[in-house]
Structure 1
């Protein structure tokens, strides 16, 4: 979408409307900043819609990156009757045992970041089927890092899902509820 100085973008997803601020993230790149954290209504409604789309898939665990996807993972787990979900953290924590690490580059963060899977969680999902879930997929960097961690852990990814697919940068298979444009001059 063409950037012409707009400060907000009106998003409608699952019948809910949110007025998202448009922020510059590159020399000629702006995004509508979508943050589910703290928006209980949005999280619950989107989780319900994603749960319906995931109903045809057989998986043992939901897995996603820290941090904005965590409330979505929690709500999805509750709806789907899963007792646990797995969070790939942004850094190695002192309590982790034999953590697995993957590097990630994201449109919303500067430089190379990492995602970390605790070895305890890696053992839990080894040989299991997983659904990878995120709030927004843009370039696919975060989801690809989660995929790398799942491969290292020996888990089989049966599907990938997000609330929003942002732009056309990610070309992999993805279940999503709505598209979100990126803005350029």
Structure 2
């Protein structure tokens, strides 16, 4: 089963994936899709306020954050890693329980990333916001390092996330019944 939608002017077929017996979601995968990544970055930047640094979680939002930084003419984007790395000093962490992951994960920043964001205008980006758990974790990291969140942006707002007034998104992504109909 697939759900077809137009995102940033491009048609895509999203495979429907089972979360529970009666809850399926459309899987939006930016990896390997340069065309959609470029188009989404361009459209999101049109709505973005002034910012200094982009942050995303180590996930499918990485190519989006990179492309937005590239198109904006800045080299400053940060990836909150899903575990401490050997090169990180003074590690800052927070936990996240995402709908698309079957266990609690830890997001980490090192001193280099903390210094880059301290006192700066931070733009949080992700490919999809659903429950908001990943977003809350990124917000916690930004607060811990003294960054100023100026905007939260995503390509797709899934389910009830589309009703939020604190995020900017390109399209609404419904959730689905087991038979593929929209809930």
TM-score, normalized by the shorter chain, greater than 0.5: yes
Shift of residue 112, structure 1, vs aligned partner:
1.1
Q: Which residue of 1 aligns with 2:117?
A: 125
| 1:123 Cα deviation from its structure 2 partner | 1.5
Unpaired runs of 5+ residues, structure 2, are 179-183
Partner SS, residue 36 of structure 1: coil
What CA deviation, in whole Å up to 9, does each residue of 1:12-46 have, x standing for no partner? Answer: 11111111110101232110111000100000011
Q: Which of 135, 139, 144 is the aligned partner of 1:147?
A: 139
Aligned twin of 2:100: 108
List gaps (5 residues or longer) in structure 1: 1-6
The answer as to 2:175 corresponding to 1:182 is: yes
1:169, distance to aligned residue in structure 2 (A):
4.5
Deviation at residue 183 of structure 1 after TM alignment: 1.3
Q: Which residue of the other structure, out of 69, 74, 80, is the alignment partner of 2:61? A: 69
Q: Give the alignment's TM-score, normalised by structure 1.
A: 0.92
Runs of at least 4 residues of structure 1 off by over 3 A? 169-172
Q: Are 1:92 and 2:78 an aligned pair?
A: no
Structure 2 residue aligned with 1:15: 9
Give the distance between the partners of 1:155 and 1:112, measured in 2 at CA. Answer: 25
- For 2:169, what is the secondary structure of its paired residue? strand
Which moves more between the two structures, 166-175 or 35-44?
166-175
Residue 27 of structure 2 corresponds to residue 33 of structure 1 = yes
Partner of 2:40: 46
Residue 52 of structure 2 contacts residue 76 of structure 2 at CA under 8 Å; is this kept in 1?
A: no
SS at match of 1:41: helix
Q: TM-score, normalised by structure 2?
A: 0.93
Counterparts of 1:69 and 1:41 in 2: how far apart (Å)? 15
SS at match of 1:165: strand
Report the RMSD for the aligned CA atoms in angstroms.
Answer: 1.3
Matching residue of 1:4 = none
Paired residues in the alignment total 177
Deviations 1:82-128 (A, max 9, x none): 12211111111111111110101111001211111122101121111
In 1, the alpha carbon distance for the partners of 2:30 and 2:107 equals: 20
SS at match of 2:76: coil
